[in-house]
Structure 1
């Protein structure tokens, strides 16, 4: 299933504007109060008034010319989410984490060891979100560059895997970075094992269309490009 949106103007902010900034109390000139203006956001702190695709635990902002490709089972449970812009792609995953600390450092090391066991060396690089992993892997289509990023939030962690030119040139991320910066995580209050994937699902209207189409023995509209 593919969700896409045509360009409606370039609303991308600069890197500095998307960074966390500090707002001063001009009247009292007391201690500065940090304000998060770049995500991924927890749903409790997400900016309002933004058009997003609701996939359950992940709410993905509608960014011009970015396709959201979703692979789901017959029950509408999403197995994979990939954002595509041109020749670049960003695969997203979201996982439960403990309240007291982040898990990206441990997860990153596990990814590095897994790649190493397959004969692939991964390099740690400091990036916009902290320490990243970069690697070249062999696929059926040849050698592919990958860039793994992780962002720890309150009781969750978002993992992103960039593929394409953006894997070696972060400046090429463009709208994909805008999607990651505007991502919203709905962790929920249910207790979950650490590192368990948080549940993802198709939007209600798409799931209903798919169910109706399956009952009628036809191809669901959701299997074709859809505007959001």
Structure 2
């Protein structure tokens, strides 16, 4: 399928049975989960997890990274066609790109099906990464675990809990396949230029300038000047 082709929106977004665990579509998500509303992604408030975002001056988010101890989880969400998932195709392209960069990637079975695991060299030394994809109703969540959690998810259970409680609000508009879904800081945060607090004690914070790129160890969260 042509990645640039737009999909239509003549039918309801969800026709699937409810998921046992997330990421959830907003139409099937359980109630009562404290969340940080970042637009297309509703990030759950989980104790021990810090939410770092990189946003432009208009509050449009470029990157979301969740940090727990020495591990991190980078999140992305993209438009997908109604008729089929795109993770198999995207995973193959990621593997090819890693190979072109001189990095060998191993395909393994994980909680969400086929995943990619690799070890990349960064300014901080060698870092393990794990690419996970979840196909939903007309969306794809791409999750990249970094650090110890990329090898053994049990060392950072709060990050896995975040992924399992993540909610996607796809919206109704037709979008080109693989187009990133819109992410933005909460309106009151963008207007105030402050760092948002998640909905409950122990939840992560979101600093508009803090980020950790895939393949890089998370760095301390910088403050706005």
- When the two structures are superposed, what TM-score results if normalisation uses the length of structure 1? 0.78
The one of 145, 156, 172 equivalent to 1:173 is 156
The one of 52, 76, 85 equivalent to 1:93 is 76
Q: 1:130 to 1:227 in 2, by over 3 A?
A: closer
Alignment partners' CA distance in 1, 2:97 and 2:167: 28
More helix by share: 1
Give the secondary structure class of the aligned counterpart of 1:146. Answer: strand
Superposed structure 1 runs of 4+ greater than 3 Å apart? 225-228
Listed as ranges, the gaps of 5+ residues in structure 1 are 1-32, 211-220
Write out aligned runs for 1:1-228 (5 A). Answer: 35-210=18-193, 221-222=194-195, 226=197, 228=199
Q: Give the deviation of 1:173 after TM superposition.
A: 3.0
Q: Give the deviation of 1:34 after TM superposition.
A: 5.8
Please say if residues 45 and 198 of structure 2, whose CA atoms lie closer than 8 Å, have aligned partners that are also in contact: no
Q: Give the deviation of 1:35 after TM superposition.
A: 4.4
Alignment partners' CA distance in 2, 1:172 and 1:104: 25
Give the secondary structure class of the aligned counterpart of 2:27. Answer: helix
Question: Alpha-carbon deviations, 1:67-88, whole Å to 9, x = none?
Answer: 0101100010000000001111
Q: 1:199 to 1:227 in 2, by over 3 A?
A: closer
Alignment: residue pair count:
184
Which residue is equivalent to 1:8?
none
Q: Give the deviation of 1:37 after TM superposition.
A: 2.7
Larger radius of gyration: 1
Listed as ranges, the gaps of 5+ residues in structure 2 are 1-15, 200-225
Please say if residues 120 and 128 of structure 2, whose CA atoms lie closer than 8 Å, have aligned partners that are also in contact: yes
Which residue is equivalent to 2:9?
none
Question: Alpha-carbon deviations, 1:105-161, whole Å to 9, x = none?
Answer: 000000000000000010000000000000011111111110000000000000000
Identify the structure with bigger relative contact order (alpha carbons < 8 Å, sequence gap 6+): 2
Alignment partners' CA distance in 1, 2:160 and 2:107: 20
